[in-house]
Each structure stands twice: as C-alpha cells, then as structure tokens.
Amino acid sequence: MFCKTSALCVLVLCTLSSFGLSIAASPSEQFRQFVTAYSDDKTDLSRLHPVEFNELYLKVKNHFSRDELRTIMSKQAGNELDEFHMKRILFVASPDSVRVQSQQHVDWVPKLVNDETLEKGVTFFQQHSATFKRAYQKTGVKPQDIIAILNWESRLGEQKGQYDIFKIFVGQAFYIDTIEKKLYEEGAYNKEGAMSRTEALKRIERIKQRALNNLAQLLIQSKQMGIDPYNVKGSWAGAIGIPQFMPASMGYSADGDGDGIIDLNTIPDSILSVATYLQRNGYHSKGSKYAFKRYNQDEMYMRGVSLYSEEVEKRGVNNVSSWIYQDNK
C-alpha cells in the first residue's frame, strides 16, 4: 500500500513485483510502468469513438495529456471485452434491464432477509462492535443500518465481484450505443415489458455519462496512487469492495481503523465508509430510508435494506445507550 487516507488503496489487487516494477518509483511513475507493461491493442478508441474519448479527456485533462490518455485507452487489457464482460454490458443495455433488476431486488428480499442472514448480522455486530461504536460516535449512523447495507451489497464481504471494472466502464461508455442498436435491430423492444426506445435512449445516455465519470475517477485515482487501473476488480456495475462503492463515490470512503490507509476490502474501513456515505446523504435530516435510496435508487432495494435493519435490530443489534454521537456541525 502506498497511500495515506486514499480511497483507491482498495484497488491495489496485484503487486508491483509481479510486473517487475520499481517500488522506489513515484506513484505517477508506477502507474506509467503498469500501463506500459501491457501489450498494445489494435483498437484506437480515440479514433473510433472521438466524442466519448473527448468527453473523457475533458474530465481528466488536469492529470493526463491527450496522448497519454490515448495510450491508456488503447490497451487490450482495458478495451477488449471478452464474453464474461460483454454479457453484462448486453444486460445493462437491454430495454428490459430495469424491469429485470427491479424484479431481482424483489427476489433477493427472502434471500437476504432470513434467519441465517440475520444471525450472521448479529455475529458481525458482536465481532466488530468497537468499530461500530467509533462509526456511531463520528457519524451518528446506527449499526443495524450499516449492517443492512453491507449485507445487501456483498453479504457482509462474502461477494465483492470478479469483473475488471475498467472494461465495465469502457463497455458502458464506448460500446453501449452499438450494442443498443444491435438489440434494436434484433427486436429487443418488441418484448413484453420492455421500455420504449425513446425512454431507453435517454437511459443509455445517463449510463454513458456515469461510466465516463467513474472511468475518469478510476484513472485519476490510479495515477495518484500508482495502481494498475486494468486490474481493479468489482461488480458487474463497476462497484468496489465490501460496501460496493463506485469510483466516483470514493470521496465518502474513510479510514475506520486508524492505520492511515483506506481499504474497502477491510471491515473497519467499510463500516465507517458506509456510515459516512449515509451521514452525508440525508440520514439525519431526511431519515434512513432516504439515505438508503441515495445509496441505490431502486425502491425495493430501499425496502429490503430497511426490513433487514428493522429485523436485525429486534435481535439485539443497536447502538448501545452509552454511545454518544459527536455532531460537529
């Protein structure tokens, strides 16, 4: 780990030595060595997708020259989508995706809120009660609400994702228009429950912009920390670590154990990071359900997380009466 209080420490998933890189180099030089260690690709995204490339460049121009960005985006490791990743981009681009995802949240409720998961939540609280206390004292966020989020996002750290998020964002930002057109030509909009193409195209544009924002943050933070951007693992949506933060949300990440390093693959940092996110997104002013929906806008997500929080609280997960929230406003 190279950094102090940097969210992207979580992204160090391969070692410098495995690439024969110099650990004495600056983070910027380490980043450059990572990029150049990969073979060149035949795909020049700056030429094939000039509009999207320029939008990305405008977001990172204070950190990368246009030529540097072109080099980064021309590597096979970043822009070549295999079947594993393409399947997820196809799903996201589908006009039926929103309906399917909403139904998945409905289906997940009994899978994520049951005796087994609730007992795991109680045990998790007992194991990390000191961290929950620190998080409460700093943010005023109740432990049952934090556990509910972590249970839904990664089953308390059991499932963190195996996708290369660089490829996920490239697929969403650079290839999704072509994929949508192919789906249209194949009759995807004729299926029952599919949204209209007018509505779908607006959604596709929102997906592209989010992907460009997240890709830009991934690149900037990777350069600042000397991290291999192509080897960062996460969910099919591009979320990272136990709390499943997007790169653009790393500003909410926090050091939960006081070691000077933020690593969202560790429990203490994940607990305080979720607490910080909820605190800064209306938890106290508008309530926990509002904050849950800021974490994920799906209605059933909010309901499922709320239900878990309520049920696990009944089993003894709560802030101890002696805990005091130090509101520093």
Per-residue pLDDT of 213-258, as tens digits, reads 999 999 999 999 899 999 999 999 999 999 999 999 999 999 999 9
Task: Decide: residue 86, CB within 10 A, 0-12 exposed, 13-18 middle, 19+ buried.
Answer: middle
pLDDT exceeds 80 at position 177: yes
Confidence (pLDDT) at 328 = 64
pLDDT exceeds 60 at position 15: no
Confidence (pLDDT) at 38 = 87
Average pLDDT over residues 175-194: 95
pLDDT range class, residue 24, cuts 50, 70, 90: low
**Can you tell me the distance from the alpha carbon of 219 to that of 28, in angstroms, rounded to the nearest whole number?**
11
CATH number of 104-160+242-314: 1.10.530.10
Q: Looking at the chain, which residues constitute the CATH 1.10.530.10 domain(s)?
A: 104-160+242-314
Q: List for the chain the helix, strand, coil content (%; round to 5).
A: 65, 0, 35
160 DSSP 8-state letter: -
Confidence (pLDDT) at 246 = 97
Instruction: Look at residues 276, 211, 220, 234 and name the one whose alpha carbon lies nearest to residue 10.
Output: 234
Confidence (pLDDT) at 289 = 97
Per-residue pLDDT of 43-70, as tens digits, reads 899 999 999 999 999 999 999 999 999 9
Instruction: Look at residues 17, 23, 11 and name the one whose alpha carbon lies nearest to residue 227.
Output: 11
**Orientation angle between helical segments 267-279 and 143-154, nearest 10 degrees:** 110
Per-residue H/E/C for 187-205: CHHHCCCCCCHHHHHHHHH
pLDDT exceeds 60 at position 9: no
Per-residue pLDDT of 109-165, as tens digits, reads 999 999 999 999 999 999 999 999 999 999 999 999 999 999 999 999 999 999 999
Average pLDDT over residues 79-91: 95
